[in-house]
Amino acid sequence: MRILGTGGALPSNEVGNGAFSALADTSDEWIVSRTGIRSRRISSGDTALSLARSASERAIASAGIRREDISLVVCASVTGETLTPSLACLLQRDLGLREDNILAFDINAACTGFIYALGLAREFLRPGGYALLVGSEVLSRVTDFTDRSTCVLFGDGAGAVAAEASDGEFHFVSGARGDGESLVIGSIPPAPNPFSAARASPPPPLIRMNGQEVFRFAVESMTKSILCVTERAGLAPGDIHHFVCHQANRRIIESAARRLGAPPERFFMNIERRGNTSAASVPLALDELNASGRLLRGERVVLSGFGGGLTYGAVYMIW
């Protein structure tokens, strides 16, 4: 599989760290030193669908493909507004994609969602077919703005790629470690059910996280999965031109880079201005790297993600 074009979309509302000192007991100094984040975009009306639509339009235009040739739409998100229809189906409608011979579905693998989508697309795409793969999140829908240990971390946004089947080298590795404690976005409140015993009201659907547990998992799984895909390509981390990793914490990326023995400057970072945008993080970072002109055709690229589930994955591809 080969990525032909990328696109990104962000809410216009940029919120600096200072704004969080008024909401929770925190400071710019703490946030920058522990995470690398200085600001993030927060929706003031944008939805996961509206951001996904804008990012997709840009990815399709940058790929130079016809909308009617798209046969696969996969959206990775945990913050769509409806369980069904899926974001992918709503995108099919909004973008005017074809109705027959198309697969359109969402996947929930939290921050690893876009990496899982790439792996799935490789299985489903047939020669001559094109895929639209999107990560889109409005995490401000599920952020507890009174919890200083999580509210400062997240941002909203979307990233998308248009890809085609190709027999170029592509390696994919994925993993899951079911864990209902370390990183949870709460349940959807059930409708009253006359056939079920009364239950306590579920907690509101807000992010709850054990930061230190997730930090350890992140460094370990990122290092392991990046090593795995580079070895499958017969290479060492030092042979990779660009690493585009999930942007959750600057220290996580720096730790993984050290363990891998790869030059830190090859790890693209936009966390300073984006925060953690979950499933949007990797495609948004990829789009920003692509737009910078530093990503050249023929270069070796590794994408890597980890997140709720817990899940992780990595992809090696030639750009």
Question: How distant, in Å, are the alpha carbons of 17, 72, 190 from that of 148?
Answer: 11, 39, 28
d(C-alpha 290, C-alpha 5), whole Å: 9
Candidates 242, 265, 250; CA nearest to 219 is 250
Residue closer to ligand COA by CB (options 161, 310) is: 310
Identify whether 241 is a catalytic site residue. no
Q: Which of 223, 225, 276, 311 binds ligand COA (CB under 6 A)?
A: 276
Q: Is 218 in the site for ligand COA (CB under 6 A)?
A: yes
Report phi then psi at 174, rounded to 5: -145, 160
Catalytic residue among 75, 111, 151, 245: 111
Strand locations in the chain, DSSP E? 2-9, 14-16, 39-41, 70-76, 103-107, 130-137, 157-164, 170-176, 183-185, 207-209, 242-245, 267-268, 300-307, 311-318
What are the percentages of helix, strand and coil residues in the chain, rounded to 5? 35, 25, 40
Q: Which of 2, 34, 141, 232 binds ligand COA (CB under 6 A)?
A: 34
- Choose the stretch contacting ligand COA; rule: CB under 6 A; options: 59-67, 187-195, 205-213, 254-262: 205-213
Per-residue binding letters, 117-156, with ligand COA (x by CB under 6 A): -------------------------------xx--x----
Residue closer to ligand COA by CB (options 129, 307) is: 307
Here the tokens at position 242 are 């660009």
Q: Residue 138: CB partners within 8 Å, gap ≥ 6?
A: 43, 46, 47, 48, 51, 79, 156
Q: Is 292 helix (H, G, I), strand (E, B) or coil?
A: coil
Catalytic residue among 151, 171, 246, 270: 246
Q: How far is the CB of 296 from ligand COA (least distance, A)?
A: 29
Strands 183-185 and 207-209: antiparallel
Here the tokens at position 64 are 């130079």
For the segment 53-92, give every residue that binds ligand COA (CB under 6 A).
none
Residue closer to ligand COA by CB (options 148, 266) is: 148
Here the tokens at position 17 are 């760290």
Q: Is 311 in the site for ligand COA (CB under 6 A)?
A: no
Largest CA distance in the chain: 61
Identify whether 276 is a catalytic site residue. yes
- Choose the stretch contacting ligand COA; rule: CB under 6 A; options: 29-37, 76-84, 173-181, 236-244: 29-37
Per-residue binding letters, 97-116, with ligand COA (x by CB under 6 A): --------------x-----
Residue closer to ligand COA by CB (options 104, 214) is: 214
d(C-alpha 17, C-alpha 14), whole Å: 10
Q: Which of 205, 211, 273, 319 binds ligand COA (CB under 6 A)?
A: 211
Q: How far is the CB of 26 from ligand COA (least distance, A)?
A: 3
Identify whether 246 is a catalytic site residue. yes
By annotation, the residues acting in catalysis are: 111, 246, 276
Contact residues for ligand COA, defined by CB under 6 A: 26, 30-31, 34-35, 111, 148-149, 152, 183, 209, 211-212, 214-215, 218, 248-249, 276, 307
